[in-house]
Homo-oligomer: A and B are copies of this chain.
Amino acid sequence: MQDAETLAEQPPAGADEERPANSREKGLNRVLHILEFLHANQRAIGVGELAKGLNAPRSTTYTLVRELVEAGLLEMAGDGNRVYFGKKLYLYGMAYMRGNDLLRRGRQEVDTLSRETGETSELCMLQSGRYTIVHSSPGTRPFRISSATGLQIPLPWTASGRLLLAGLDRGRIEAMVTQDDLVLPDGRKIELDDFIDDIGKARVTGYCVTSGLVDAYTKCLAAPVFSAPGKVEATMCLVVPIDTSEDRTGELLTVLRERAARLSIS
């Protein structure tokens, strides 16, 4: 990092991307980072730790946090030092849900799907270019396969990712996938071309199954939810043990696709 500084001032430089420096940052941006940080850590965090974690000046962090707490977007946690999300965010979130048929109905479908099948079921959407688990309902197996709502995962790691990108042209797909995204947790690398092929296939077949991508023990079945003909707005998916039989997988897939289709009517 020091190299950059030693070199010289940073004039506008390259035509692309603004990375002026470490100088002043807009308050709003700082706030957005604070929220992201809290979301990533899923727990109350002290103001000092926040400032450190975001490379933000302490003084600014204090004022911003105070303002956010006053506004109700954040709340002081028990000991009066740490902060976490506040009621206002919950209220806004519920308002979003109320205004969003797809989400509201999708949550129900997912819940009943996992109750009926006993498997973990999820509703997934594209969220600023990333795959996001919007709602998940754990299965009834003794050892549950569960993942946190709001978790963001590289698109190429998932079956849903392949469906969510169906219909996009190569350029847009490339823009959404970084090199890191193509490397699986176990180190294997997915070729971009293979990924794009998969997307094409998924688009045609109307579903997608992946095995042992995110981890070695699970298989992922996904079906698209359309908001308009050809436009994939979300996916429903089932996460099952990788040794699930062909037959059962087929059955599950049928139920899954049925429910996803029902959601699409909207």
Contact = CB atoms under 8 A, between A and B. Distances in A.
A128 interface: yes
Interface of A: 26-29, 31-32, 35, 38-39, 42-44, 64, 67, 70-73, 84-100, 103, 125, 127-128, 132, 134, 149-150
Which 10 pairs, one residue from A and one from B, show the smallest C-beta to C-beta distance?
Answer: A93-B93, A85-B96, A91-B150, A90-B93, A90-B96, A89-B92, A27-B28, A32-B71, A72-B128, A89-B93
Q: What is the oligomeric copy number?
A: 2
A100 B87 CA distance: 10
Contacts of A100: 90
Contacts of A103: 90
A236 to B, nearest CB: 16
A134 B92 contact: no
A17 to B, nearest CB: 12
Contact of A64 (B28, B73, B85): B28
